[in-house]
Homo-oligomer: A and B are copies of this chain.
Amino acid sequence: MKITSAHGGGGKLMNVLIHDIFVKHFANETLSAMEDAAILPAPGARLAFTTDSFVVTPLFFPGGDIGRLAVCGTVNDLLMRGATPRYLSVGFILEDGLDTDALERVALSMKKAADEAGVAIVAGDTKVVEGRGGLYINTSGIGLVETALNISAHNAADGDAVLLSGYLGNHHACVQSERLGIQNAIQSDCAPLNGMVLGLLNAGVEVHALRDITRGGLASVLSEIAEASNVGIHLEGGLTFADPEVSGFCDILGLDPLYMGNEGKLVAFIPQRDALAALTVVRNARYGQNAQIIGTVRADDGLSVTIRTRSGGTRRIESLLGEGLPRIC
Protein backbone atom coordinates (compact mmCIF):
# COMPACT_ATOMS: atom_id res chain seq x y z
CA MET A 1 0.00 0.00 0.00
CA LYS A 2 1.23 3.49 -0.81
CA ILE A 3 0.95 6.44 1.55
CA THR A 4 -1.40 9.17 0.34
CA SER A 5 -2.16 12.58 1.79
CA ALA A 6 -5.34 11.11 3.29
CA HIS A 7 -3.12 9.20 5.74
CA GLY A 8 -2.18 12.54 7.28
CA GLY A 9 -5.67 13.90 7.78
CA GLY A 10 -6.20 13.12 11.43
CA GLY A 11 -9.15 10.86 10.72
CA LYS A 12 -9.85 7.15 10.32
CA LEU A 13 -7.23 6.36 7.67
CA MET A 14 -4.49 7.89 9.79
CA ASN A 15 -5.70 5.94 12.82
CA VAL A 16 -5.63 2.68 10.87
CA LEU A 17 -2.06 3.41 9.72
CA ILE A 18 -0.92 4.29 13.23
CA HIS A 19 -2.49 1.18 14.74
CA ASP A 20 -1.41 -1.25 12.04
CA ILE A 21 2.21 -0.18 11.99
CA PHE A 22 3.33 1.97 14.90
CA VAL A 23 1.21 0.84 17.83
CA LYS A 24 1.56 -2.77 16.70
CA HIS A 25 5.35 -2.77 16.70
CA PHE A 26 6.17 -0.22 19.38
CA ALA A 27 3.46 -1.66 21.62
CA ASN A 28 3.57 -0.50 25.20
CA GLU A 29 0.82 0.69 27.51
CA THR A 30 1.84 4.33 27.44
CA LEU A 31 1.89 4.62 23.66
CA SER A 32 -1.19 2.45 23.12
CA ALA A 33 -3.24 4.80 25.29
CA MET A 34 -3.01 7.28 22.36
CA GLU A 35 -3.14 10.32 24.61
CA ASP A 36 -1.94 13.80 23.67
CA ALA A 37 1.13 13.36 25.87
CA ALA A 38 2.66 10.41 27.70
CA ILE A 39 2.76 10.52 31.48
CA LEU A 40 6.03 9.07 32.77
CA PRO A 41 7.62 8.33 36.11
CA ALA A 42 10.96 10.09 36.61
CA PRO A 43 12.54 8.90 39.84
CA GLY A 44 15.41 11.35 40.06
CA ALA A 45 15.79 15.07 40.14
CA ARG A 46 17.54 15.70 36.81
CA LEU A 47 16.58 14.95 33.23
CA ALA A 48 18.53 14.89 30.01
CA PHE A 49 16.50 15.99 26.97
CA THR A 50 17.58 15.94 23.33
CA THR A 51 16.18 15.99 19.79
CA ASP A 52 17.42 14.90 16.36
CA SER A 53 15.85 14.69 12.92
CA PHE A 54 16.94 12.06 10.42
CA VAL A 55 16.83 12.59 6.67
CA VAL A 56 19.32 9.95 5.51
CA THR A 57 19.06 8.64 1.99
CA PRO A 58 18.82 5.82 1.05
CA LEU A 59 16.43 4.70 3.81
CA PHE A 60 18.11 1.28 4.02
CA PHE A 61 21.86 0.60 3.90
CA PRO A 62 24.22 -2.18 5.03
CA GLY A 63 24.36 -2.21 8.81
CA GLY A 64 21.22 -0.18 9.40
CA ASP A 65 18.39 2.00 8.18
CA ILE A 66 16.84 5.37 9.00
CA GLY A 67 14.92 3.82 11.92
CA ARG A 68 17.92 2.29 13.66
CA LEU A 69 19.81 5.51 13.02
CA ALA A 70 17.03 7.60 14.60
CA VAL A 71 16.96 5.52 17.77
CA CYS A 72 20.75 5.24 18.13
CA GLY A 73 21.43 8.89 17.38
CA THR A 74 19.12 10.16 20.09
CA VAL A 75 20.08 7.48 22.61
CA ASN A 76 23.75 8.35 22.08
CA ASP A 77 23.13 12.07 22.60
CA LEU A 78 21.58 11.29 26.00
CA LEU A 79 24.48 9.01 26.92
CA MET A 80 26.97 11.78 26.10
CA ARG A 81 25.65 13.69 29.12
CA GLY A 82 26.02 10.65 31.36
CA ALA A 83 22.25 10.05 31.30
CA THR A 84 20.58 6.65 31.28
CA PRO A 85 18.26 6.79 28.23
CA ARG A 86 14.65 6.01 29.15
CA TYR A 87 11.99 7.44 26.83
CA LEU A 88 11.78 8.28 23.13
CA SER A 89 9.23 10.16 21.07
CA VAL A 90 9.01 9.54 17.32
CA GLY A 91 7.71 12.03 14.75
CA PHE A 92 7.28 10.68 11.22
CA ILE A 93 7.01 12.91 8.17
CA LEU A 94 5.96 10.61 5.33
CA GLU A 95 6.08 11.55 1.69
CA ASP A 96 3.22 10.58 -0.63
CA GLY A 97 3.98 7.28 -2.31
CA LEU A 98 6.05 5.74 0.50
CA ASP A 99 5.42 2.03 0.59
CA THR A 100 3.85 0.95 3.86
CA ASP A 101 5.97 -2.23 3.80
CA ALA A 102 9.09 -0.06 3.91
CA LEU A 103 7.56 1.97 6.74
CA GLU A 104 6.85 -1.21 8.66
CA ARG A 105 10.44 -2.42 8.19
CA VAL A 106 11.63 0.89 9.60
CA ALA A 107 9.26 0.63 12.57
CA LEU A 108 10.45 -2.90 13.33
CA SER A 109 14.05 -1.78 13.16
CA MET A 110 13.29 1.07 15.58
CA LYS A 111 11.67 -1.31 18.02
CA LYS A 112 14.69 -3.64 17.88
CA ALA A 113 17.15 -0.78 18.41
CA ALA A 114 15.02 0.65 21.23
CA ASP A 115 15.00 -2.73 22.96
CA GLU A 116 18.79 -2.99 22.63
CA ALA A 117 19.19 0.52 24.07
CA GLY A 118 16.69 -0.03 26.88
CA VAL A 119 14.35 2.80 25.89
CA ALA A 120 10.58 2.85 25.44
CA ILE A 121 8.92 4.70 22.55
CA VAL A 122 6.17 6.52 24.42
CA ALA A 123 4.93 9.32 22.15
CA GLY A 124 4.46 9.71 18.42
CA ASP A 125 3.14 11.85 15.60
CA THR A 126 2.61 11.32 11.88
CA LYS A 127 2.38 13.86 9.08
CA VAL A 128 2.16 13.38 5.32
CA VAL A 129 3.60 15.72 2.68
CA GLU A 130 3.86 15.59 -1.11
CA GLY A 131 7.00 13.98 -2.39
CA ARG A 132 8.51 10.89 -3.89
CA GLY A 133 8.08 8.17 -1.29
CA GLY A 134 10.63 9.54 1.17
CA LEU A 135 10.59 9.57 4.95
CA TYR A 136 11.95 11.85 7.67
CA ILE A 137 12.04 10.87 11.33
CA ASN A 138 12.47 13.03 14.40
CA THR A 139 13.34 11.29 17.65
CA SER A 140 13.46 13.20 20.91
CA GLY A 141 14.64 11.51 24.07
CA ILE A 142 14.58 11.76 27.84
CA GLY A 143 17.23 10.25 30.08
CA LEU A 144 17.78 10.29 33.82
CA VAL A 145 21.01 11.71 35.26
CA GLU A 146 22.50 10.88 38.62
CA THR A 147 22.64 14.17 40.42
CA ALA A 148 26.39 14.09 41.00
CA LEU A 149 27.38 13.74 37.35
CA ASN A 150 28.60 16.70 35.32
CA ILE A 151 29.83 15.43 31.96
CA SER A 152 30.05 18.28 29.50
CA ALA A 153 31.90 19.45 26.40
CA HIS A 154 33.03 22.35 28.61
CA ASN A 155 34.92 20.10 31.04
CA ALA A 156 37.92 18.76 29.09
CA ALA A 157 40.93 19.59 31.31
CA ASP A 158 44.70 19.90 31.07
CA GLY A 159 46.32 16.49 30.86
CA ASP A 160 43.16 14.56 29.96
CA ALA A 161 43.63 11.53 27.76
CA VAL A 162 41.56 11.56 24.56
CA LEU A 163 39.94 8.16 24.02
CA LEU A 164 38.44 7.24 20.64
CA SER A 165 36.05 4.27 20.79
CA GLY A 166 36.80 2.74 17.38
CA TYR A 167 37.61 3.26 13.70
CA LEU A 168 36.12 6.17 11.81
CA GLY A 169 34.27 6.67 8.57
CA ASN A 170 32.23 3.47 8.22
CA HIS A 171 28.81 5.12 8.19
CA HIS A 172 29.87 7.82 5.71
CA ALA A 173 31.62 5.29 3.45
CA CYS A 174 28.66 2.90 3.59
CA VAL A 175 26.05 5.54 2.66
CA GLN A 176 28.24 7.00 -0.07
CA SER A 177 28.92 3.51 -1.49
CA GLU A 178 25.18 2.84 -1.65
CA ARG A 179 24.54 6.08 -3.50
CA LEU A 180 27.35 5.53 -5.99
CA GLY A 181 26.51 1.85 -6.48
CA ILE A 182 29.98 0.78 -5.31
CA GLN A 183 30.14 -2.87 -4.24
CA ASN A 184 32.11 -3.44 -1.03
CA ALA A 185 31.70 -4.96 2.42
CA ILE A 186 31.57 -1.67 4.35
CA GLN A 187 28.74 -1.50 6.89
CA SER A 188 27.42 1.46 8.86
CA ASP A 189 28.65 1.51 12.46
CA CYS A 190 25.18 2.69 13.61
CA ALA A 191 24.83 1.47 17.23
CA PRO A 192 23.64 2.50 20.69
CA LEU A 193 26.63 3.12 22.96
CA ASN A 194 24.96 2.34 26.32
CA GLY A 195 27.40 -0.47 27.07
CA MET A 196 30.60 1.52 26.95
CA VAL A 197 29.24 4.72 28.52
CA LEU A 198 27.36 3.14 31.40
CA GLY A 199 30.34 0.75 31.73
CA LEU A 200 32.66 3.72 32.30
CA LEU A 201 30.32 5.24 34.86
CA ASN A 202 29.73 1.96 36.67
CA ALA A 203 33.49 1.31 36.80
CA GLY A 204 33.91 4.58 38.68
CA VAL A 205 36.02 6.13 35.91
CA GLU A 206 35.98 9.93 36.07
CA VAL A 207 34.67 11.21 32.74
CA HIS A 208 35.11 14.90 31.93
CA ALA A 209 33.58 15.10 28.44
CA LEU A 210 31.92 12.77 25.95
CA ARG A 211 30.82 13.36 22.37
CA ASP A 212 29.48 11.03 19.74
CA ILE A 213 31.19 11.63 16.41
CA THR A 214 28.50 12.28 13.81
CA ARG A 215 28.22 14.91 11.04
CA GLY A 216 31.45 16.89 10.69
CA GLY A 217 33.56 14.00 11.95
CA LEU A 218 36.16 13.80 14.71
CA ALA A 219 37.87 17.00 13.50
CA SER A 220 34.74 19.08 14.06
CA VAL A 221 33.94 17.44 17.41
CA LEU A 222 37.46 18.07 18.74
CA SER A 223 37.36 21.68 17.53
CA GLU A 224 34.05 22.21 19.34
CA ILE A 225 35.35 20.68 22.57
CA ALA A 226 38.62 22.67 22.39
CA GLU A 227 36.57 25.84 22.08
CA ALA A 228 33.99 24.92 24.73
CA SER A 229 36.65 23.87 27.25
CA ASN A 230 39.17 26.56 26.24
CA VAL A 231 41.99 24.04 25.77
CA GLY A 232 44.24 22.68 23.04
CA ILE A 233 44.02 19.06 21.91
CA HIS A 234 47.10 17.27 20.61
CA LEU A 235 46.75 14.00 18.69
CA GLU A 236 49.54 11.43 18.40
CA GLY A 237 51.16 10.63 15.06
CA GLY A 238 51.05 7.27 13.35
CA LEU A 239 47.56 6.37 14.47
CA THR A 240 45.21 4.24 12.40
CA PHE A 241 41.88 6.04 12.16
CA ALA A 242 40.08 3.74 9.73
CA ASP A 243 39.85 0.01 9.07
CA PRO A 244 41.50 -1.30 5.88
CA GLU A 245 38.30 -1.34 3.80
CA VAL A 246 37.36 2.23 4.70
CA SER A 247 41.00 3.34 4.25
CA GLY A 248 40.93 1.97 0.72
CA PHE A 249 37.63 3.75 0.05
CA CYS A 250 39.10 7.01 1.36
CA ASP A 251 42.22 6.67 -0.80
CA ILE A 252 40.14 6.23 -3.95
CA LEU A 253 37.77 9.14 -3.27
CA GLY A 254 40.24 11.46 -1.55
CA LEU A 255 38.39 11.45 1.77
CA ASP A 256 39.85 11.98 5.25
CA PRO A 257 38.39 9.77 8.03
CA LEU A 258 38.78 12.68 10.46
CA TYR A 259 36.00 14.53 8.61
CA MET A 260 33.66 11.59 7.98
CA GLY A 261 30.41 11.01 9.85
CA ASN A 262 29.86 8.05 12.17
CA GLU A 263 26.85 6.75 14.06
CA GLY A 264 28.35 4.54 16.74
CA LYS A 265 31.60 6.17 17.82
CA LEU A 266 32.50 8.49 20.65
CA VAL A 267 35.42 10.44 21.96
CA ALA A 268 35.94 10.61 25.73
CA PHE A 269 38.08 12.95 27.83
CA ILE A 270 39.46 11.13 30.87
CA PRO A 271 42.01 12.17 33.50
CA GLN A 272 45.35 10.36 32.89
CA ARG A 273 45.07 8.33 36.12
CA ASP A 274 41.87 6.68 34.82
CA ALA A 275 42.86 6.45 31.15
CA LEU A 276 43.97 2.82 31.04
CA ALA A 277 41.01 1.65 33.12
CA ALA A 278 38.71 3.53 30.73
CA LEU A 279 40.39 1.98 27.69
CA THR A 280 39.87 -1.50 29.15
CA VAL A 281 36.18 -0.84 29.86
CA VAL A 282 35.51 0.50 26.36
CA ARG A 283 37.46 -2.28 24.61
CA ASN A 284 35.44 -4.88 26.50
CA ALA A 285 32.13 -3.20 25.66
CA ARG A 286 30.03 -4.01 22.61
CA TYR A 287 31.13 -1.77 19.69
CA GLY A 288 34.37 -0.74 21.49
CA GLN A 289 36.92 -3.41 20.60
CA ASN A 290 39.04 -1.04 18.48
CA ALA A 291 39.21 1.76 21.04
CA GLN A 292 42.50 3.65 21.40
CA ILE A 293 44.00 6.60 23.24
CA ILE A 294 44.67 9.13 20.49
CA GLY A 295 45.93 12.22 22.25
CA THR A 296 46.16 14.59 25.18
CA VAL A 297 44.64 17.86 26.30
CA ARG A 298 47.01 20.81 26.80
CA ALA A 299 45.64 23.86 28.53
CA ASP A 300 48.48 26.06 27.24
CA ASP A 301 47.95 25.24 23.56
CA GLY A 302 45.40 27.93 22.82
CA LEU A 303 42.27 26.48 21.26
CA SER A 304 44.01 24.57 18.50
CA VAL A 305 43.62 20.92 17.61
CA THR A 306 46.87 19.50 16.22
CA ILE A 307 48.18 16.15 15.05
CA ARG A 308 51.80 14.99 14.89
CA THR A 309 52.99 14.49 11.31
CA ARG A 310 55.31 11.77 10.02
CA SER A 311 58.14 14.26 9.77
CA GLY A 312 57.83 14.98 13.49
CA GLY A 313 56.14 18.35 13.13
CA THR A 314 52.53 19.20 13.92
CA ARG A 315 49.62 19.98 11.63
CA ARG A 316 46.56 21.97 12.66
CA ILE A 317 43.15 20.34 12.28
CA GLU A 318 40.24 22.65 11.53
CA SER A 319 36.51 22.10 11.88
CA LEU A 320 34.73 20.97 8.72
CA LEU A 321 33.82 23.96 6.55
CA GLY A 322 30.61 23.53 4.58
CA GLU A 323 29.23 20.11 3.90
CA GLY A 324 30.53 16.61 4.32
CA LEU A 325 28.12 14.18 2.72
CA PRO A 326 24.60 15.67 2.47
CA ARG A 327 21.81 13.68 4.15
CA ILE A 328 24.24 11.29 5.85
CA CYS A 329 21.96 11.05 8.89
Q: A residues bordering B, Cβ < 8 Å?
A: 5-6, 8-15, 33-55, 76-78, 80-81, 83, 87, 89-93, 122-125, 127-129, 136, 138, 140-143, 145, 152-154, 210-212, 214-217, 220, 224, 228, 261, 319-324, 326-327
| Residues on the B chain within 8 Å of A93, using CB | 53, 55, 93, 136
How many identical subunits does the complex contain?
2
Distance of A72 from chain B, by nearest CB (Å)? 13
| Residues on the B chain within 8 Å of A13, using CB | 321-323
Q: Which residue of B lies closest to A37 (CB)?
A: B50
Do the beta carbons of B50 and A89 come within 8 Å of each other? Answer: yes
* A52→B138 CA distance, assembly (Å): 9
Do the beta carbons of B326 and A50 come within 8 Å of each other? Answer: no
Distance of A61 from chain B, by nearest CB (Å)? 17
9 extra interface residue pairs, beta carbon distance < 8 Å, beyond A37-B143, A127-B136: A5-B326, A10-B215, A10-B261, A13-B322, A33-B152, A36-B80, A36-B212, A37-B81, A138-B140
Q: Offer 21 A-B interface pairs, CB within 8 angstroms, sorted by A.
A: A8-B323, A8-B327, A9-B323, A11-B220, A11-B324, A13-B322, A33-B153, A33-B228, A34-B228, A35-B80, A37-B80, A38-B50, A40-B47, A41-B46, A47-B142, A49-B89, A49-B142, A51-B138, A51-B140, A52-B125, A55-B93
| Residues on the B chain within 8 Å of A48, using CB | 37-40
Q: Which residue of B lies closest to A53 (CB)?
A: B91
Q: A9 with B324: in contact, given A36-B77, A43-B45, A50-B89 (CB under 8 Å)?
A: yes
Q: Which residue of B lies closest to A5 (CB)?
A: B326
* A89→B32 CA distance, assembly (Å): 23
Which of B9, B37, B216 touches A326 (beta carbons < 8 Å)? B9
| Residues on the B chain within 8 Å of A87, using CB | 49
* A228→B140 CA distance, assembly (Å): 26
Do the beta carbons of B53 and A138 come within 8 Å of each other? Answer: yes
| Residues on the B chain within 8 Å of A36, using CB | 50, 76-78, 80-81, 153, 210-212
Do the beta carbons of B37 and A215 come within 8 Å of each other? Answer: no
Q: Which residue of B lies closest to A145 (CB)?
A: B39
| Residues on the B chain within 8 Å of A77, using CB | 36-37
Q: A138 with B141: in contact, given A47-B47, A52-B91, A81-B39 (CB under 8 Å)?
A: no
Which of B5, B138, B210, B320 touches A91 (beta carbons < 8 Å)? B138
Do the beta carbons of B50 and A123 come within 8 Å of each other? Answer: yes
Which of B47, B78, B136, B224 touches A34 (beta carbons < 8 Å)? B224
* A9→B92 CA distance, assembly (Å): 22
| Residues on the B chain within 8 Å of A51, using CB | 89-91, 123-125, 138, 140
Distance of A267 from chain B, by nearest CB (Å)? 12
Distance of A138 from chain B, by nearest CB (Å)? 4
Do the beta carbons of A47 and B55 come within 8 Å of each other? Answer: no
